[in-house]
Structures are given as C-alpha cells and as structure tokens.
Structure 1
C-alpha cells in the first residue's frame, strides 16, 4: 500500500517534539502522547513513518514502545468508530516500517480487540459485509490474525449476516463465505447448523465444499449422502460418496452403509451390489452393518440375499439378529414359508444357547410370513410362543395377526384378536381398524361394518386391562383366542378402562365402507360428503369405487359424470379410473364410449393393464362387422406387445363365428355351415397367437390391395378361419362401395415340404379347397393355372412340360419367386369374387 493510497487530511494531533534541553532529574516525566482529540483525522503516512524512522539520538527503546502503544491505541479508536480503512493505514504504516520490525508484535498485541469488534459490529449492522471481508483480508495480509479481532458480539453479528444469505437462497455466496472465514481460522460452527444447510444444498460439489470446512467433515459428508437420498437423488449421493473416499483416504464403513441404504431408497439395487463388489475387489471385509444394509436393499431378490449371507459366513463375519430378521423378510417377500420356518428354527436354536435373543421384530416378521400365506393358525401359535418368551407384541404384531385372520376370511377370529389387543393395553391405530372393517366387508357383512364404524366414531376405542397377573404383564389382559377355556380363570379378575382412544378414520376407511354400498350410489355419495366434512379429500380410489358402484347399478350416465367430476376436481386420472369407467360401459353394453375411453387413455400415454385389455376383449359376445373385429384385434395386438397373455381361445371362437357368417348366403337353411373339427382336436390345445396375428394382418389391408393370403404353418381350422375372414372383409367393404381390383391368391406351401397326399400342407390345402369350391362355389385355379404366365418354347423340364419364365403381374413377384406348385398357389379370379359378393344381402344379414 503506497503513501498516495492512504494520504488524508493533516492530523490535528501534534507529533511528540524533542526536548530542547534535558530537564532536571526531579522534573523529568514520562513522555505522554498528545491529549487532543484522537478521532478527528488520522495522521499522514509520512508523519507516522517519520516518527518511527527518524528518532533523535537520545531516544530510547522505551520511547519507541511508547510510540507503538500510542499508534495502537489510535488505530483501535479509529476502528471502533467504524473507520476500518484508517485502521489499516495506521497498522500498515507501523508494521511496514523497518525501524520497528522487531517490535511489530508489540503493536499487534496492544490493539484493543474489544474496540475493533465494536467497529466491525457497527459496519455489519449497516449491512456492509463486503467491507468487513475486505478489512479481514487486509488485516491477515499485514499479519494481524482475524480471529483476534472478533469477539463474541462481532461473531454473533457476522452470523446474522451469514444467515441472511441463507434465507435469501444465496447458498453459493454463503458456502464461499464459510470457506473464507474458515481460512481465517474463525469459529464458524455456530453460524448455522451444518446439517440444516446440507438439507438446502442441491449441488453435490457445493455440499462437499461446505462439509470440508469443518473438522468433522466425514460425518457431515455422510449426512449429505443421506439428505440426497431423501431427495431420491442417488447420482448426487454417489458423487458425495466418491468425494468422501478421496478425502478420507480410504473406505468409511458408515458411508458405505449410508450409500447402500440410499440405493435401496432410490430403487437402484444394482448400484448397491456394485459398491459391495468394489469393496471385495479392494480386499476390504465389510462389517455386519454393511452386510445387513446390502441384504435389506436386495431383500426382494431372495437368491441374491442368500448369496450375500453365505459370503458373509465365508468371510467370517458373525450374523446378528438383524441379519436373521432380514432373511425372514426376504422369505416373506418371496412367499417361501418353508425356508422361513427353517431360519426361524435356527434362530430359536441359537436363542436357546444364549447366542442371541429373539425380539418383537423376529416374531412379527414370522407372523407376517404365515399371514400372507393365509396360515392363520400358525400365526396365532407364533404369538403364543412370543408371550411364553416374555416378548410383548407391538402394534405391528397385532396388525399382522389381524391380517392373518382377515386374509383367511375369518372375520369373527379377527374380531377376537382385535379385542385381545385392546385388553393387552395396545393402542390400535387406524390401520388395525381398517383391517377389521375390510374383513367384515370381504365377508359381505356390510351392516356390521357400518355399525362398528359409527360406534367407534361416537364412543372411541376402550382399552381394558386386568388388575394383576395378566398374560401381557401389568397392562395385559387375559383373553386367549386359541384356548378360550383359559379365559374362565380370568373372569374373576376385574377389568378397568384405562383410556379411551378416539377413532380417527382416514380416506382408506371411507373407501372400504364405500365398497360395502353395493349398488347404492346415494349412500356412497353420502360417505364422500361425510369424508369432506371431516376435512378429508376423496382420492382416486374413492372416485373409482364410486364409478364402479354406478356401473353395478347400471347407471352409465352417472358413472361417466363421476369420471368427469373426478377430472374436474383436479385428481389425476390413472389406469384404475379409466379401467373402472370402461368396465362400467362394457357391463352396460355401451361399447362406443368404452372404446373411446380406451383411445383417450392411450392419447394421455397411460399404459393399460391386463384388466383393461381383458375387459375390452370380452366386451362382445359376437362380432357383427369388420370394424368391430379390427378394433378387437388391434387391442389384442397391443396386449401382446405390452407383455400380457390373453385368452386366445375365447377370441378365436368369436372370430370363427364371425367368419362362418360368410357361408350364410350359400347355405339353404340360412345359417352358418360348420364342418366337423373332430379330426383336428390336437390343434386346439396350442396357442392361437399365430392365427390371430395373421388374421389381424390380412384384415388391416384395404380391399384394393393385393389379396395374397399366406396360410403356411397354420392348421386346417386356422387356415379356414383366415381365408373366410378375408372373404368376409371383401364382402363388407364391397357393400360399402369398395371395388374389387385383384384376384385372391392363397399360398399353402405344398411342394416345399413334400407334395404327397399324406403331408400336412396338402391336407390344409385340400381343406381350403373344400371351403372355396364345395361350400362357396368358387372356381379355384390350382397348380399351373393359378397365375397367368408368359411362356416360350424351350427344353422340357423334369417336373413339367412347361418352363415358367416371367409373371405378368409384378405385384405377385414377392409371393411367387419360385414355381407356383412349389408354394401350392391357389387363385380365386376377380370375376368370381365379384359375382359372389353380388349374391343376396349384406354380410351382416347373413350373420344375424
């Protein structure tokens, strides 16, 4: 800093003058700094340097110290008045002087931290944070520790300004400020709670920067991983994890456990496996907590969970009770009851040896295994073992027991378990009440479900307990579902009400009751109104149930109105709502609206489920027009592409009936003429996907397109259906004004696999010929007459006296690239088709 940068007005403070003659010893006094006002103006830089660099010969070291004390006091008072730049000017003048280089620490030591802090507080109070930061930076450059200039009051004011940046969402500036202050060794931990700041940060790099300024950065980085996991941002969490590995210089097991748990929360279980493999590749043995997290995240994959468990044993890591609980959970998800029982017996054996002690989670998980398998008696037996082991059931245990009885359709047993829970002193939650209500609804005891609901609403739930000696301890009752006779000994014990728990129904509660309304949509609407009165908002399930009730009551208009109202109130329509509305329309034979809802559903990019497809495919008991067949075949193809399996046989039967309607005009009785399929029974056991796909392909063509029908690979019945479907399409489109422009070509494949009368292809060709010639009366050209050829004289062929050269019709080239008899080609001339479609009435008349 040069002189010109710090020159200000001349000081009113006179500089100490040299005495003209030494005073007498009795009158000699200690030189004092000037007593004039200190804060009018600072001295000139040149004046300060002159005082320090040009003392008189008689000046002593004491005089220099007095001058340093004087200027330290002057600088401190300048700072207290908020003149921080003037403080820096005086400090630089003193500290850069060569004459006092050795005594510079004395000047720094004599600066009043209290005065400087008051000045800093004043400047920060004016909102000049940048000015304070510049002051701190220059002070550090001069060798004055910034930490020594801030007292508690100044730090509190600085913290307020820093928190203002956070409140204004200026997190980038805040993190940069924390890095700066930490570099000046200021105590920043109390400025803001680091964990709360990490919750606000969305940039992983910024989170790493912020956590790194604290001594406990590893714990904060683990917190950052968890916070990103709560936001379902697994990518950012992994970036923080990689930064943690680099900073710590190794693998932090707590961080590994955290990132694996985050992978589970975000559904990226494959990443959790790669982290585990990375540990093994580095010859690092994870601890039991890492193993438990990995098994828990992959509990949905029983085979991998067992693989991890075996690896755990191979590495010598002792499994704890949590490990076994997770194994039971994996068995429960996979519905492997037998395997769960094996693990449970192993746990009990270890408990008998004192290796571990079963807890409430072990028993509750095992009860859930049996509950999901509808083995309610086994679930109740586990509860008895639990009580004998002096483990008190919790709310999860009781919920699983209620589910066990409800899933088995035992509503009365579920009620007994519920009463036993109340007598045990366990406060039921709404989920327990909903399970019980659902059990009554599923058993069609609707009135009892409503009575329980309104009783609970009015009186709440009374929790009882026996005075002493109950099976559940001091707060336990003595009811026993498995052994009712044991309850007799408890009857003498007085029961008292210890608390009344108010019943707070949820939206799920009302949805269950709405299902009990049957076809009474007025009552269902009243329940929705009651729901709103209690401050609850009907969800998409509520509206879907209401739509279904309207459909069951054959009120299609009400169902569609409820569907529209659902959209109007702002509820996002999902596949369940659309499927329910479609089902209501199909059940009431309003197929036009049903198919329009399906098309609307696809426009909104909602993927139909199996129920949606199956409802539409079963919408018709018979087909009356080509459009209906094309519509259902398109749905069938979409269903197959979506990966769903369908009842091909049912759809094939409908199409077969529609196709046979072609024969109605040629049958004297006016009805369809069916052939005997007894000789083709073996073909009916196979899937009909090939048949339906070929029918769909041919029915998508226009009548003006080339009608080349490929029946290769089909059975006799299937080939018959494909040919008749094309003929029916030709006839229907002709009546709509479409002109027949081409012959109909049928490729049977005879000759490719052998032309003998015993070949399968030959039998299929003969069955098709029988339909065309005998039943429909067509003149069918076979063999060489099937297509019109140009031929020229030449050497005779081994298989025929003619040589086939060029086919006149180029559109047949792709079908007849070889000799026609090699493909078993049949041709129905255009004139024959034209004559046939003009006979009698429309095809719809023939069907009906």
Structure 2
C-alpha cells in the first residue's frame, strides 16, 4: 500500500497535525509506515504528542513489535512526558499484545483508576498465554465489560482446552444481552469443535443462522472444521457444497476433515476438484494433504504431493511438511528412508520432525533408532513431555523395564510434567468433561461403579492394564489404578450407563489416546456391543466389534 502523499509536506509544515496521517497509516494497516513516520519525526526534531505516541504504540501492538514498543516507551520516559490514562492504556496494550506480561502488569498495578481498555488488554494477554485463571480473575473484577473483553475471555478458554467454560461464558454473555460479533462466534465454534459435541454444534449453527452470521465466509469455513471434528462429515460436506464462493481455506478445511477421518482418497479428490476450479493451494493445504496420505497409508501419493508442492507451486517446504513426510514414511515402516529424509533436509529439523520419527519408532518398536531420535529431540527441548512418553512406550514394548524406570526418574528429576488429559462426552445435549481420576461429576459413584464392572468384564476376555505406560514412580497396584482412571475411560463408563446395545458413543480427547485406552476401547466395543468413536489429538478412532479404524497405527 502506497504511503499517503501529503505526509512529507505535513512533516515540515504542519507538525501539530501529524496525528492525522499517523492514524491513517494505522487504520489502513500500514503499521510499518507509521513506525517509520515516528522515526522521521524524531530525526526532524518534531516532538510527538500523546495522541501520536498512543497511535504508534497501537502499531507496535498490532505487529507484536516489542523492540519498537520499548523504544517508544523509553522515548516517553526520556522526554519527561506525563503519562495520562490514554497513553498508559496504550502502553499496557502494547506490552500485553507482545507477550511481555510482567511489564504490562507493573503498569496496570500503577494505574488508578483502571479503565476498560487497560483491563481488557490484560485479560487478552493472560488468556493468550494460557494463564486463564489470572485472566478470569481480572475479568471478574471488571464492573464494565465490552464485547472485546468477553470475546478475549471466551477465546482464551477455547484455546486452552476448556471449551465447556467458553460455552458457559458465551451463554452468560447472552443472558446479559451482549451481542456477539464474528470474532466471538469463531471462538464459540472452535470450542464446540474441541469438545466434539454434535448437539452443541448444531445449536450454535442454528444461532448463527438466526443472527445473520451464516453467509460470512470465515464462519462457514469454521463450521466445516467444527462438523468434521464433531464426527459429522455429512454436515461438513453440506456446508461445503452450499458455500457459493470457496476460498483456499474452504477447500483446505474440507481436505482436513477427510484427513482426520482417515479418508485419504476423498481428501485427494477434493484437492483435484480445487485445482480444476482454479483455486491455488497454500502451504496449509499441502500439510493437510500429506496428513491425509499418512493416515491412509498412501505413500506414493504422498511423495507425489510433496514433489507437486515444490515443482508446480514453488512452495518451499516448512518443518510441518517435512514432519508429515517423515510420519508418512514412518507409518509405512520405511524408518531408514524416513531418517535419511530428515538428514537431507536443507535446515535443521525441529521437534515436530523428530517427534514424527519418534512416533513411528514407537509404532514399529525400533528401540535403537528411537533412542537416537529421542536424544536429538531432547537436545532441542529438554522438557518435551511427549519425547519421554514415547521413549518409555518403546522401552515397555521391548520389555526393557529398567530403561522405563530410568525414563520416569529422568522426568521426575528434570521436573517434566505430562500435559493434563481431558475427555468430553455429549449425552442428551449436555457435555460432560472428565480429567484423570476426576470425582467432581455429580454421578461419580455411579460412574466408578460402572468402570469397575467394565474392567471386570474386559479382564474375562484377556484385558490386562498396561502399567508400563504410567510415567510416575508408583507401586504396581497404584499404577494399575492410575491407568484405569484415564479420562476417556471415565467418559466411556458414563456413556455405557446412558446408552443401549447397538448405539453409538462419541468421545473427544485433547491428547493422543494411550496404548492401554486404545485396547480398552476396542474390547469394550465388542463386549458391550457399542460403536465407540473417539477423536484424539491426531485423528478419529472408530471402534467396532473389537477393531479400530486406525488399524492400530496412530
């Protein structure tokens, strides 16, 4: 975008009016030009006023340019300029947006009285960093909240594996008569997608239609993703087919939907249709395509897609593309080729790439390569909990129990904590959330009774809890209890209580399902005559008659 032509003249002739072009730059999205203008003003000896400084800080916030923001702050301090509420709010917003919450908090603590802009900035900043409890504390202390503040808090919950809280807050917002906008609804859709709750998803869809959001393209794209993650490809396809104008995100969302369900051929067919329609794919499209090929075992097709991306579309592969290719080769038991592929990369592989190869080593039980890959991964990120989990699983499969204990001790000594797992199950339109060993549910006594019954029945057909996957140092009986209290087992127990034989049980989980729970679900589907659909972090698992759609490779 061209710079506004009258700016240079204003610099020399109308310094007191410079706030107007500065604001014009920011309103036009020309943030770098606004920063350049600020530098020119200083070089010309023009002293910017508080309005200009606040506008420049806004540009720094929008671009997350912390060094420039700090430079502006230093200029304000050096100029002995008194900081009014407007300027202080701008400083807080800049530091918050740039992730420097310590500085933002100090400025916020010094502010009295605290205004809406500053408080909203703090809520946004803490929510973005995943510090939801702190964000909610500030949010609850605010007597006046605008839509931006509500949206920031809802988004924070949605992005922090607390979708239930996001929807609760959205309902509270509705009761208070605050009307949502597109940004709010995108977060609400994301929350429904994360929970995999189809009834909640349909309610949100109806709300969108009634309130005039249904024709917004970003909303339609998000709905495709939501229905795919809720297990309803039919609804996702309906939205897709009814979308008159489809951009690259629309096509990619549908490709991703088929990919997560293991329908690689359908994903490739959508891509072919996309090309015929003249829509140019981007890097994310190819990540989804490679992911689809990987989970469907389409090795040759994956190789072709990777070459097409480079040759026909001149897209330079990023770490994620290499990670997908490594995953594709690894799942096909081509571990040596996968390693050679990693070693031939034009830049150093990151944790995504090494993590993909380590996952393949777990699937195929390659201890030697697994140790090498885990070492490389932990050199990059010593606190990568997934590396310890996968390496421990590799050792356990090889019955190397001393090495399993060593991995556990290493995690303990380094203070590495495994990410908490959550599972959701929707029954009669209500979403139930569980975490490991959860006893907060009002029907806990009934759920645990059912779980004990399920375990007893499954043990009669050969189930034995795989305690080797427990990464804490416990007695054997304590390990057994820990593995039996995983969140998805609790969700399944409630699902079995409230369902009949032949029915379908939907569960969603924020992490990859462990080996023991995977076996548990397979056996439960056969013994209790239910079809169980579990969506974990990587894909959908459809358990029926003791068999999983993933073929035990996930």
- TM-score category, normalised to shorter length: 0.5 to 0.7
2:409 aligns with 637
1:199 aligns with 35
Structure-2-length-normalised TM-score: 0.63
d(CA) in 2 for partners of 1:594 and 1:339?
Answer: 39
1:143 aligns with none
Following TM superposition, by how much is the alpha carbon of 1:621 offset from its aligned partner in structure 2, in angstroms? 5.5
The superposition leaves residues 155-193 of structure 1 with CA deviations (integer Å, 9 ceiling, x where unpaired) of: xxxx99xxxxxxxxxxxxxxxxx9xxx8xx997999xx8
Structure 1 position 413 matched with structure 2 position 235: yes
Seen in structure 2, the aligned counterparts of structure 1 residues 417 and 248 have a Cα distance that, compared at 3 Å, is farther
d(CA) in 2 for partners of 1:415 and 1:321?
Answer: 32
Superposition pairs of residues 69-468 of structure 1, within 5 angstroms: 199=35, 210=42, 213-214=45-46, 216-226=48-58, 228-229=60-61, 234=66, 237-238=69-70, 240-241=72-73, 243-244=75-76, 250-280=82-112, 285-299=113-127, 300-313=130-143, 318-336=144-162, 339-351=165-177, 357-391=179-213, 393-422=215-244, 427-458=245-276, 460=277
Aligned-partner SS, 1:573: coil
The superposition leaves residues 205-231 of structure 1 with CA deviations (integer Å, 9 ceiling, x where unpaired) of: x95981893364323323443455567
Superposition pairs of residues 498-577 of structure 1, within 5 angstroms: 502-517=278-293, 518-532=296-310, 533-566=312-345, 570-577=346-353
Structure 1 position 591 matched with structure 2 position 367: yes
**Aligned 8 A contact 1:402 1:435 in 2:** yes
Following TM superposition, by how much is the alpha carbon of 1:587 offset from its aligned partner in structure 2, in angstroms? 4.6
d(CA) in 2 for partners of 1:588 and 1:363?
Answer: 42
d(CA) in 2 for partners of 1:279 and 1:525?
Answer: 58
**Aligned 8 A contact 2:395 2:401 in 1:** no
**Aligned 8 A contact 1:575 1:608 in 2:** no
Following TM superposition, by how much is the alpha carbon of 1:555 offset from its aligned partner in structure 2, in angstroms? 2.3
**Aligned 8 A contact 1:222 1:255 in 2:** yes
Following TM superposition, by how much is the alpha carbon of 1:455 offset from its aligned partner in structure 2, in angstroms? 1.4
Superposition pairs of residues 604-753 of structure 1, within 5 angstroms: 605-607=380-382, 609-620=384-395, 634-640=406-412, 641-644=414-417, 649-650=467-468, 683-686=475-478
Seen in structure 2, the aligned counterparts of structure 1 residues 634 and 208 have a Cα distance that, compared at 3 Å, is farther
Superposition pairs of residues 20-59 of structure 1, within 5 angstroms: none
- Structure 1: gaps spanning 5 or more residues: 1-158, 161-177, 461-501, 654-681, 689-848
Number of equivalences: 410
**Aligned 8 A contact 2:93 2:121 in 1:** yes
- Structure 2: gaps spanning 5 or more residues: 1-7, 26-31, 420-464, 481-554
d(CA) in 1 for partners of 2:69 and 2:264?
Answer: 50
Following TM superposition, by how much is the alpha carbon of 1:404 offset from its aligned partner in structure 2, in angstroms? 1.9
Following TM superposition, by how much is the alpha carbon of 1:588 offset from its aligned partner in structure 2, in angstroms? 4.6
Seen in structure 2, the aligned counterparts of structure 1 residues 267 and 528 have a Cα distance that, compared at 3 Å, is same
Following TM superposition, by how much is the alpha carbon of 1:506 offset from its aligned partner in structure 2, in angstroms? 1.8
d(CA) in 1 for partners of 2:361 and 2:393?
Answer: 12
**Aligned 8 A contact 1:260 1:294 in 2:** yes
d(CA) in 2 for partners of 1:388 and 1:198?
Answer: 41
**Aligned 8 A contact 1:398 1:421 in 2:** yes
Say which one has the larger Rg.
Answer: 1
What RMSD over aligned residues (CA atoms) do the two structures have, in Å? 4.1
d(CA) in 1 for partners of 2:264 and 2:78?
Answer: 63
**Aligned 8 A contact 2:335 2:360 in 1:** yes
Following TM superposition, by how much is the alpha carbon of 1:565 offset from its aligned partner in structure 2, in angstroms? 1.8
Following TM superposition, by how much is the alpha carbon of 1:416 offset from its aligned partner in structure 2, in angstroms? 0.9
Following TM superposition, by how much is the alpha carbon of 1:297 offset from its aligned partner in structure 2, in angstroms? 1.8
The superposition leaves residues 229-275 of structure 1 with CA deviations (integer Å, 9 ceiling, x where unpaired) of: 56756466346336536758543333233322322332122322221
d(CA) in 1 for partners of 2:75 and 2:359?
Answer: 54
Following TM superposition, by how much is the alpha carbon of 1:418 offset from its aligned partner in structure 2, in angstroms? 1.7
d(CA) in 2 for partners of 1:412 and 1:324?
Answer: 32
Q: Which shifted more, 553-562 or 576-585? A: 576-585
Seen in structure 2, the aligned counterparts of structure 1 residues 217 and 370 have a Cα distance that, compared at 3 Å, is same
Superposition pairs of residues 745-764 of structure 1, within 5 angstroms: none
Following TM superposition, by how much is the alpha carbon of 1:405 offset from its aligned partner in structure 2, in angstroms? 0.8
Seen in structure 2, the aligned counterparts of structure 1 residues 399 and 307 have a Cα distance that, compared at 3 Å, is same
**Aligned 8 A contact 2:213 2:219 in 1:** no
The superposition leaves residues 774-804 of structure 1 with CA deviations (integer Å, 9 ceiling, x where unpaired) of: xxxxxxxxxxxxxxxxxxxxxxxxxxxxxxx
Aligned-partner SS, 1:613: helix
**Aligned 8 A contact 1:207 1:224 in 2:** no
Aligned-partner SS, 1:619: helix
